[in-house]
Amino acid sequence: MTGNIRIGVGGWTYEPWRDNFYPAGLRQADELAFAAKALTAIEVNGTYYGTQKPETFAKWAKETPEGFVFTLKAPRFATSRRVLAEGGESIARFLASGLTELGPKLGAINWQLPPTKKFDPEDMAAFLDLLPDRLGGLPLHHAIEARHESFACDAFTTLLRDRGIAAIQAADSDYPQIAVATAPFAYLRIMGTREDEPLGYSEADLDHWADRLRDMARTRDVFLFVISGYKAANPAAAQALLKRL
């Protein structure tokens, strides 16, 4: 098996990108279409803060080429709570907000936990059981971004593996590095771009990441997003990785 590797950034609306990524004079309304031709995926942050409409998802799907995918950050109302297992209503509302309009362009869903959220095996198991495998006829691919060190344990990765859910690796960060394969896909968010590097990362670092992605793709699909760090350089880093692959 050889998996697909999709690489992108977080969002597509960012003022400094109009100086170094988007062509001068490009209409803001055309930025998604341009980004979707330059990259192969985008992680949507807006779904974390508020409910989107079916018409919005349909518009995103229409403006992007075949093969392009969106990953969605799940709403904070479902993940920023003391008892995760009580988030069923928020999860259901999110899943019913129009995700199926993306069709095959729905890549994965990032369930990002607060850095203060500690691992509770029973609560986590109950939360994971609220995440369905399918939505209508659309398969769903779930990933957990656990950001407290207590999640770096076998008990957590076993829960994920039993359900085919991925552990997101927040690389180049102070968050726990959970690089265990627990799903048919890998989900990475790399956060180490720097202002003093024209491509965000050094050539050696980019080569290293490209090699790691090729290795992962031998057995599974891979999503990688260049997030945070020196954000102005993130599209350049993503494009440099795509060029290497």
Mean pLDDT of all residues in 205-228: 96
Beta-carbon-side half-sphere exposure of residue 92 (alpha carbons within 13 Å): 6
Q: What is the CATH number of domain 5-185?
A: 3.20.20.410
The pLDDT value given to residue 62: 98
- Closest Cα partner for 64 from 20, 119, 129, 8? 8
Counting every residue, how long is the chain?
Answer: 245
Stated pTM of the model: 0.96
Residue-wise pLDDT tens digits, 106-163: 999 999 999 999 999 999 999 999 999 999 999 999 999 999 999 999 999 999 999 9
| 8 Å CB contact between 38 and 239 | yes
Mean pLDDT confidence for 157-176: 95
Residues 6+ apart with CB under 8 A from 210: 241, 244, 245
Where is 209: in which H helix or E strand? helix 203-216
Three-class HEC string of 146-180: CCCHHHCCHHHHHHHHHHCCEECEEECCCCCCCCC
